[in-house]
Chain A
């Protein structure tokens, strides 16, 4: 893998019909960095992520290593940016290996069978994510945590430079959530991947990401190191929440207060 890329989002705006959901967002993620987009429900986190990927019509510009993505053909873009959605559509009666192999789509001719190099990349990725024993199991019979790992494996099989994850822990219990985030962190450190994710769990966001962007009503209202963004005042203003923030060695912990 060719290491992470620098991602710049400049003046990005998006709307559903006439309702503007994302308003002039400016973000930068350094190569190998992990930026988590946080914010209350309906603040536009998923729309922002989908706009950065080009799935949603938007204004403004997204640049990867200085190159605007709007001019890059879709297939080529898919070799740079890989996406794992919040609720992945899992095709029926397909094995885990077949599903992960779909990640090779942007690298191989669309009509031909997977080549030896594709099978090798898929096998490596599945080994790394501990999916080897599940390779021939139908995807639908996997547990929630295993399915999330399969989705991650499919994204990694794209051999991307940037990983975009929409709520990677949404369906997982605390233990499995930590496992997935540990995994993402390891991949980021080993391969230098750039990670851009939404995360609704503030403590997990504070512990794992090295930068946070707080989105409120479609605008970035705070951006910086977790300790600077996660303040009781910000949580009160934008979440309407009463919470204490406790500093820790790996980042701040957010504790709700009754």
Chain B
């Protein structure tokens, strides 16, 4: 059975798949997927942990519960100090990047938008490269200097793009996009210059650029939580206003909405989520671009449904990608940015292919 592009479709054929009418079902499924991914991420690794004992150990740590038969001291250290923070951080970063990507796509009405569009990546890259090359200290208090510099750099990048875009053309999305392109190019040039002056640090810079969760500690989780969680909550509430914005600024105004305000709020929240994700994990590509499209395959184009589903799928996706990165060449690790594209691109290609055939 083949259909040619542009072929007419009989009127009687159901156009939307049945699950589109059951967004609750999709949301529940995505939640289950995230939960399963978290469990798999904890169990599987270079040092396999017996699932039963892991559950016992975790329950044992809850207040008021005392169980025996948990893990030995080494395994317990691996579980609590290495694997848990890593899996938790992967889910947070994946969720944050995915919902930011979905929000950017909604706000710019552009399916190719991703969280790094407005200079967040270039700003974070310059910040990280600067401190890797020049900083005399490695830590500020409990936090590494690289995450802090990347966080500040990402916010500065987006801030410059917003300032330039607003000064140049109000809140029109095309002007803002172009401002983002200009700022990103400028910051990326700065980063290249610093790298070229400090070739000894190239390896470390590239390690950071490709994304890494290998050295995750609980302090990283603590660093992102206060920024990432409120940003994601704000974005979850912005789904319906974004749906109104999708009909264009004039009509959104005619429906009683302030397009400029909604756009600014969404961009600020999404940039905050992106900056905190980038700070602790480097530049992990693909998640923010493609996970929203996967979500749309299941729930249609309404942002009110795409945003929460993206959040859950993004978390699950990055936990699984990180699992692959740890396991494939164990004990060596692949950069997670490589894995997300390597696993994600064929997966998404298949989704496009089967989606087209089902039609």
Contact = CB atoms under 8 A, between A and B. Distances in A.
Given A91-B243, A91-B246, A138 B16 contact: yes
B296 interface: yes
Contacts of B241: 110-111
A85 B251 contact: yes
Contacts of B240: 110-113
A141 B9 contact: yes
A87 to B, nearest CB: 9
16 contacts: A50-B250, A55-B254, A78-B254, A85-B248, A91-B243, A91-B246, A93-B301, A94-B246, A94-B301, A105-B255, A110-B240, A111-B237, A111-B240, A136-B21, A141-B9, A158-B255
Interface in B288-325: 296, 300-302, 304
Contacts of B301: 91-94
Nearest to B254: A83
A94 B255 contact: no
A1 interface: no
Contacts of B257: 74, 105, 110
Contacts of B16: 95, 136-138
Contacts of B296: 93
Q: Among the interface residues B9, B240, B255, B302, which one has the most CB atoms of the partner chain A within 10 A?
A: B255
Q: Which 8 A-B pairs have the closest CB atoms?
A: A93-B301, A78-B256, A89-B248, A75-B256, A91-B246, A106-B256, A83-B254, A105-B255
A214 interface: no
Interface in A66-99: 74-79, 81-83, 85, 88-95, 98-99
A82 B302 CA distance: 22
Given A89-B251, A136-B15, A77 B246 contact: no
A105 B9 contact: no
Interface string B100-144: 000000000101000000000000000000000000000000000
A137 B12 CA distance: 11
A153 B237 CA distance: 26
A55 B253 contact: yes
Contacts of B244: 102, 105, 110
Contacts of A53: 250, 253-254
A102 B243 contact: yes
Contacts of B254: 53, 55, 78, 81-83
Q: Among the interface residues B16, B251, B296, B300, which one has the most CB atoms of the partner chain A within 10 A?
A: B251
Given A93-B300, A98-B300, 19 more contacts: A53-B254, A74-B257, A77-B256, A90-B247, A91-B109, A91-B247, A92-B111, A93-B296, A94-B300, A94-B302, A98-B302, A110-B241, A110-B244, A111-B237, A111-B240, A111-B241, A112-B240, A154-B247, A158-B255
Contacts of B172: none
Interface residues of B, number: 28
B237 A105 contact: no
Contacts of B247: 88-91, 99, 102, 154
Contacts of B304: 113
Contacts of A99: 247
Nearest to B237: A111
Nearest to A157: B255
A103 interface: yes
Contact of B15 (A76, A82, A90, A141): A141
A132 interface: no
A137 B251 contact: no
Interface string A10-42: 000000000000000000000000000000000
A54 interface: yes
Given A93-B296, A141-B9, A54 B243 contact: no
Contacts of A75: 256
A88 B251 contact: yes
A112 B301 CA distance: 18
Q: Among the interface residues B256, B296, B300, which one has the most CB atoms of the partner chain A within 10 A?
A: B256
A147 to B, nearest CB: 12
A154 B254 CA distance: 11
A90 B256 CA distance: 18
A102 B243 CA distance: 8
A193 B256 CA distance: 20
Contacts of A85: 248, 250-251
A103 B247 CA distance: 11
Nearest to B252: A105
Nearest to B245: A91
Given A74-B256, A106-B255, A106-B256, A55 B300 contact: no
A42 B256 CA distance: 28
Nearest to B111: A92
A54 B254 CA distance: 9
Contacts of A82: 254
